[in-house]
Amino acid sequence: MEQLGFAPDQRPEPTGTSGSAIAALVLGVLALASSFIPIVNNLSFIFAIVGIILAIVGLVGINKGKKTGKGLAVAAAIVNVLAVVIVIATQSLYSAAIDKAMESTQVENVSEQASTPSGSTAGGESAEKADSSNKTKYQVTIDGSELIQDYSGKNAIVVTYTWKNMTDDSTSFLANVTARAFQNGVQLDSAMVRDLDSSKSLSQVKPGAEITVKQAYELTDASEVTVEVSPLISLNGDKDILVTKNFSVE
């Protein structure tokens, strides 16, 4: 009598690491690195969404046995989701800061118009008052720097800031000021380094309290680094710079 049997499950052998998973991780790293930067993080959000889709596509292919790299795909999904969360959180903070700054500007303009006699000009005096008001309202210092290497092995600089909340509400470092670093007059990109708690920049600080935060920047060469801190909403460009400091990287 002929014996009946079942054919074994014929699955194709994996042909290598999933390209979708690799692409998703690359997009996730880019999105996460720029998720704290105003305006730029709009693009970070798009990168993260595409990265999540690619991570899912990669996982589907891996589960079918066509490719390897499940851990890579899972890591990519986590990084991209984290980037989306940070973008949404920072955008909310920036929107609140912009609304508060606009309200404050309108109140100051009304007060100045009411107190300035008709026909008088006080351009220089107003500029000096605005500069003094900014430095009182935004108490921030650039404390120091540390040379380090980022995740990709490139040279980076970690700058330490101390910021005091001089407002009447709980708020965060990133919702009030923008810290930037330059080499040869060109702004440096943010860097991803180990053991750096970037979330402190988003931590809520009570009125009158202060916090120390660190931000990392990717170096382009061995030239001097100039660090500047300005209000998040700046109407006068370089005139609104609160504090600046130079660091040697040699």
Whether 110 is covered by a domain: the verdict is no
- Model's pTM, two decimal places? 0.55
Where in the sequence is the domain holding 243, given as residue range(s)? 131-247
Per-residue pLDDT of the chain (250 residues; tens, 9 = 90+): 455 554 555 556 667 788 888 999 999 899 888 888 877 888 889 999 999 999 999 888 888 887 888 888 899 999 999 999 988 888 888 777 776 666 665 555 555 555 544 444 444 444 444 455 555 577 899 999 999 998 888 999 999 999 999 888 888 898 888 899 999 999 999 888 888 887 788 889 999 999 999 999 999 999 999 999 998 877 777 888 899 999 998 7
Mapped onto helix, strand or coil, the DSSP state of residue 205 is strand
Are residues 135 and 201 both part of a single domain?
yes
Q: Which of 94, 119, 146 is the last residue of a domain?
A: 94
Structure tokens at 103: 């309200």
**Residue 156 shares a structural domain with residue 240:** yes
Residue 69 CA: distances (Å) to CA of 10, 23, 30, 55, 176: 20, 12, 20, 11, 41
Q: How far is CA 231 from CA 50, 92, 163, in A?
A: 32, 17, 12
Number of structural domains found in the chain: 2
Residue 228 lies in a domain: yes
